[in-house]
Structure 1
Amino acid sequence: MTIAKSSSPLEPAIEALGFDPAIHHKLLAGIESGLLRDLHVVLAARSGDVFLKYYAEGLDEEWGRPLGNVAFDAETLHDLRSVTKSVVSVLYGIALDKGLVPPPDARLLAQFPEYPDLAADTARAGITIGQALTMTLGMEWDENRPYTDPQNSEIAMENAPDRYRFILDRPIVAEPGSRWIYSGGSVALVGAIIARATGQSLPDFARDVLFAPLGIERFHWSAGNDGVASAASGLRLTAPDLLEIGQLLLRRGLWNGRRIVSEDWIEASFAPATSTPDGLGYGRLWFIGDAPAPAFSTPKPWHGGFGNGGQRLWLMPEADIAAVIYSGKYNAWDAWVTPTRIWREIILANFLRA
């Protein structure tokens, strides 16, 4: 196992950032005890300064394709899985700022004129882009099945002869806007709107307007058999580069004095638009909750991008903390446990002074 951790000369710097200087030792104790499992990377920063860093070795995959045993470091690309959705939210905001895509209240089916029969259906004609961004389309979608199951809706979409008809033709099971139904299909539609409106593939647009301005030079975006990049789960980034995207959002969309995405879009994305069955809020492709830390007298809001296998981008704006967690527990029902414990019991529990 390869571990990157602070040595004692760094501990005063960690303390100056408001954290218990023993935070690394606590992380390692959790790993060695077996309470924190299947970790690949932990990277966390406050106000741009890294205070927690861990790289390990373990089995990994690329969008389901086994990669064998990988020694992770700051240069290793890693699947984001559904954290990709939160990056796509940022990309839609950038495209909207540039006047390239319709606003969230625009009719969704108007962006897909090749399906006039679906647009004529009064039950779905009024569905908006905003409802795709908040996963409140009201359409049937089942990603509770394993992603190895061809009846999983995302896998069925990838195998369909026309992915967009497959999504838009799902049965209506709830009034649009009334209920959150987790849906990679809704994000595939958002990705298609970006690509159609900008005249670029989603990866090319991301490279030009987000990655290059942040200095992100290496990434990979997995695509289906039809060559369409997966807006729902296909992006691979290094941990430091995903952390930079998090820090861009904490800086309200500014990077080295340059406006990358509007503050209005970030605020709207982080505002709860609906709630999930497990009690979290959900904005525009971001999960929303709150959590305590000793530095605060009351719990403070956090925003998160969540991905299969334990992938996480956590943000707590009031603390100016961003954290990236990569894990290898793909398709496991309890993959959420380790990243949640690291966020709440290692990072926030050891944040002592704001």
Structure 2
Amino acid sequence: MHDPLLRRRALPRLGVGLMAAPASAAPGTEGFAPDLEEKLAAGLRSGLLPGLHALLVARHGQVVLAHYGQGPDESWGRPLGEVRSGPEVPHDLRSVTKSVVGLLYGIALARGAVPPPEAPLLAQFPEYPDLAADPARQALRVSDALDMTMGLAWDESRPYTDPANSEIAMENAADRYRYVLEQPVEHPRGTRWTYSGGAVALLGALIARGTGQSLPDFAQAALFEPLGFESGGWAAGRDGVPSAASGLRLTAPALLRIGEMVLAGGAWEGRRVVPEAWLAAMTRPAVPTGDGLHYSRLWYLGGGYVPGLGGPRPWLGAFGNGGQRLYLMPAAGLAMACFCGLYNRPEQAATPLRIWREIVLANLVRG
């Protein structure tokens, strides 16, 4: 499930006390200005970081900032009441799930279980010969689902409580895959980015069909187990199909570990997990999103100014409704996993973005 990124709005500064100051790193926060924890605490006291449930920041594999809070939470729209977060407490990833599925597709591709990005998309769904016969759809490629450039009508700008939201309509459809593929053609394929949980549903189907495993089972065997953890659950629709777009739940340390594996070039403890070639394609900007970012293989690509490093550095990220985030800055060996409970709220992006920009990047120093 998508969330507004608020990049076009100027976010209020957290205050002078949270900005970087020239200094050597304190013990336990190597590579950062001192009092990093106090800067986060000041942001929480100020009320400018609402809804924060969990935060982990690591640099070069060393956790330099950790916070677990408490607040109302939910699981795929089902209220859970007041939840005290902790390192063993699973949390909804929402659309961060999409980026995990992007990694899973790369793993399945290396195993020969799924079609390559250049393969015709409709040919992978032979049960819809009428759609495959449509000349306007014959040009669709698997890469268009991976980069969300299918050109089919899709609207997730509506609240996820609205049945007219395309993802919710897909969940309510008798056949989710037909629903996605039969949407009107609005643009030529590959020319425009349109956020689409439906595109990811198609990819989830290709993974499950090609591997002979359910999406959660393949994820556990191919990604989570090599990284040393188990999922905290995977929500499914009324048809029993696990949601590839938004259904995964993980703990904060598990999400951080995925990020650290990506930073390590796709390997973990000497074992290849995600192919290097897939990560190279994933970090090569494919299509602009229209708001200053790019998108590739279900990951966002952007850049952030880092005073301590003397200028901007590229990052890649996974974003989810409610303020769920995984930010990675390879040039700095930096990973940030963030969970929030701001589901469907217009200001949901503010908390993780402020932490990333004004606490993490602003206080990073050389080293």
| Smaller-chain TM-score bracket | over 0.9
Secondary structure of the residue aligned to 2:258 is helix
Counterpart of 2:41, as a letter, is L
Once the two structures are superposed, the pairs formed by residues 5-20 of structure 1 within 5 Å of their partners are 12-15=26-29, 17-20=30-33
The residue aligned with 1:142 is 155
Distance between the aligned counterparts of 2:231 and 2:186, measured in 1?
Answer: 41
Counterpart of 1:96, as a letter, is L
Partner of residue 192 from structure 2, selected from 179, 190, 193: 179
Deviation at 1:13, TM superposition (A): 2.8
Distance between the aligned counterparts of 2:311 and 2:37, measured in 1?
Answer: 25
The residue aligned with 1:71 is 84
Distance between the aligned counterparts of 2:279 and 2:308, measured in 1?
Answer: 25
C-alpha distance after superposition, 1:91-130 (max 9, x if no partner): 0000011111111000011110000000000101110010
Once the two structures are superposed, the pairs formed by residues 62-141 of structure 1 within 5 Å of their partners are 62-141=75-154
The residue aligned with 1:268 is 281
Number of matched residues? 343
Distance between the aligned counterparts of 2:232 and 2:122, measured in 1?
Answer: 31
The residue aligned with 2:38 is 25
Partner of residue 327 from structure 2, selected from 306, 314, 333: 314
Deviation at 1:188, TM superposition (A): 0.3
The residue aligned with 1:6 is none
Distance between the aligned counterparts of 1:156 and 1:218, measured in 2?
Answer: 27
The residue aligned with 2:311 is 298
Partner of residue 51 from structure 1, selected from 50, 64, 68: 64
Secondary structure of the residue aligned to 1:66 is strand
Counterpart of 2:256, as a letter, is L
Counterpart of 1:259, as a letter, is R
The residue aligned with 1:350 is 363
Deviation at 1:352, TM superposition (A): 1.1
The residue aligned with 1:337 is 350
Distance between the aligned counterparts of 2:147 and 2:170, measured in 1?
Answer: 19
Distance between the aligned counterparts of 1:12 and 1:287, measured in 2?
Answer: 32
Deviation at 1:30, TM superposition (A): 0.6
Distance between the aligned counterparts of 2:254 and 2:334, measured in 1?
Answer: 15
Greater relative contact order (Cα 8 A, min sep 6): structure 1 or 2? 2
Distance between the aligned counterparts of 1:111 and 1:76, measured in 2?
Answer: 38
Partner of residue 245 from structure 2, selected from 222, 232, 239: 232
The residue aligned with 2:5 is none
Deviation at 1:333, TM superposition (A): 1.6
Counterpart of 1:179, as a letter, is R
Q: Structure 1 unaligned runs (5+)? A: 1-10
The residue aligned with 1:7 is none
Distance between the aligned counterparts of 1:218 and 1:253, measured in 2?
Answer: 19
Alignment pair present for 1:194 and 2:217: no
Secondary structure of the residue aligned to 1:299 is strand
Deviation at 1:23, TM superposition (A): 0.8
Q: Once superposed, what is the RMSD of the aligned Cα atoms?
A: 0.9
Which TM-score applies when normalising by structure 1?
A: 0.96
Counterpart of 2:27, as a letter, is A
Contact 1:294 1:353 in 2 (8 A): no
Counterpart of 1:13, as a letter, is P
Counterpart of 2:281, as a letter, is A
Partner of residue 287 from structure 1, selected from 300, 322, 325: 300
The residue aligned with 1:323 is 336
Alignment pair present for 1:157 and 2:170: yes
Deviation at 1:44, TM superposition (A): 0.7
Secondary structure of the residue aligned to 1:326 is strand
Partner of residue 267 from structure 2, selected from 243, 246, 254: 254
Distance between the aligned counterparts of 1:293 and 1:317, measured in 2?
Answer: 13
Identity among equivalent pairs (%): 59
Contact 1:14 1:21 in 2 (8 A): no
Q: Structure 2 unaligned runs (5+)? A: 1-24
Counterpart of 1:238, as a letter, is T
Counterpart of 1:173, as a letter, is E
Deviation at 1:35, TM superposition (A): 1.1
4+ residue runs of structure 1 moved beyond 3 angstroms?
none
Distance between the aligned counterparts of 2:293 and 2:231, measured in 1?
Answer: 33
Distance between the aligned counterparts of 1:13 and 1:246, measured in 2?
Answer: 24
- Between stretches 241-250 and 275-284, larger displacement belongs to 275-284
Counterpart of 2:53, as a letter, is H
